[in-house]
Amino acid sequence: MAWDFETDPEYQRKLDWVAEFVRAEVEPLDLLYPNPYDRTDPEIRALMRPLQQQVKDQGMWACHLGPELGGPGFGQLKLALLNEVLGTSMWAPLVFGCQAPDSGNAEILAHFGTAEQKAKYLQPLLDGEIGSCYAMTEPTGGSDPTAFRTTAVRDGDEWVINGEKWFNSAAEFATFHIVMVVTDPEAEPHQRLSMFIVPADAPGLELVRNFTVPGFSEHEAHLRFTDVRVPADHLLGAEGAGFVVAQTRLGGGRVHHAMRTVALVRKAFDMMCERAVSRPARKGVLGGFQMTQERIADSWIQMEQFRLLVLRTAWRIDQAQDYRAVRKDIAAIKIAMPTVMNDIARRALHLHGAMGVSTDLPFLDMTTYAEVMAIADGPTEVHKITLAKEVLKNYAPGDPVYPSGYRPALREQARDLVSRRLEHEVGNH
């Protein structure tokens, strides 16, 4: 029987190194350089390279990748434990070579890219030399691919792309984009779309503007494609297989977001507890009051429940080796994530009083992050529908009038059972 809540001692030593490295060397950079994605900035490159080399020397670089791609192939459970540490810092994922959207785009290229595409785009991406963008959502279609309007039409040896994409993270710093577009409007809804590599310098590709999400990102781009031509060999996967290609990155991406959210939740909780035992109030400290104690108790339970759900989901992915087999669990952590983050950040903010609502403390950023997580990679409402459907698959219909818990019928069944047992006992004596 395998039922273990302990981390392998050797890997725990690695995690301990990561925790101290992130605390001492990486987190300070967040306070001075809020955007580490601009690889053309010589100052950022000068700071990033030696840190990345230390990570590589420790064998902790690009841990989401298999050995064939230069990573250790840790699996989702080890990644979950690692991301619990990395999630406190904007810089940390880039220092460790596992930042979004590059990590998901690398998975797509590894699974569906040609040898030429891997040499031109994947290897420099893995090496941290270039950045990428994932362009999926649209101004009118949101994150619902069946409502997308951006199209690609075949013209000889090229595809011509027209349309607009919306809230594309780090597009300003990308060397290439992976773009989901409609290639056959007449096909079934889930076979209408295809995925393409589009170089960032392609004629007709315009960055209309960047949106700012306070405390999260200043580089959420509105992209416009006007007769953008890409070679036919820039198609990723088969024509009409855009949904299949997308799931290669979205399943893992949702889990990784949840893993990093665990880290932020823990940070908010620790700050709340520190405040509770530090802030004087009447004859003691805030932590001596029952309402404060209730907030801490509720927060600890939420945090631990969420963490265990995330870790179990990661473990199940490792067991199944198929994100589709764990759809229910992935949907569940996606649903729980914004609520847990918002609840605990809000309680911590409130306990810090006036300073809690200022930008000198991170709680407003955390509440914004919670709302972002309720929208990114599909809104909460969609995942609730997915979860409910997956759960209901395991149930068979019963009597539409008298449900299985109808006590009069159960009582009669119990009488029959007891009568048979009594007859058996009497017969044996």
pLDDT at 163 over 90: yes
Average pLDDT, the chain: 92
Q: What is the mean pLDDT of residues 33-56?
A: 88
pLDDT at 1 over 70: no
Q: Quote the CA–CA distance of 79 and 311 in Å, as a whole number.
A: 10
The confidence score (pLDDT) of residue 265 equals: 97
Q: What is the mean pLDDT of residues 342-363?
A: 97
pLDDT band at 204 (very low <50, low <70, confident <90, very high): very high
The confidence score (pLDDT) of residue 283 equals: 86
Cβ within 8 Å of residue 162, ≥6 positions away: 150, 151, 153, 225, 226, 227, 228
Q: What is the pLDDT of residues 371-407, one digit of tens each?
A: 999 998 889 999 999 999 999 999 999 999 999 999 9
Which residue, 135, 56, 57, 40, is CA-closest to 98?
56
The confidence score (pLDDT) of residue 218 equals: 82
- Comparing 216 with 336, which gets the higher pLDDT? 336
pLDDT at 122 over 80: yes
Q: What is the mean pLDDT of residues 249-264?
A: 84
Q: What is the pLDDT of residues 145-158, one digit of tens each?
A: 888 999 999 999 99
pLDDT band at 212 (very low <50, low <70, confident <90, very high): confident
Q: What is the mean pLDDT of residues 40-49?
A: 87
pLDDT at 129 over 80: yes
pLDDT band at 429 (very low <50, low <70, confident <90, very high): low
Cβ within 8 Å of residue 31, ≥6 positions away: none
pLDDT band at 143 (very low <50, low <70, confident <90, very high): confident
107 three-class SS: helix
Provide the residue count of the chain: 429
Q: What is the mean pLDDT of residues 236-262?
A: 85
Q: What is the mean pLDDT of residues 52-65?
A: 91
Which residue, 104, 11, 26, is CA-closest to 59?
11
pLDDT at 126 over 70: yes
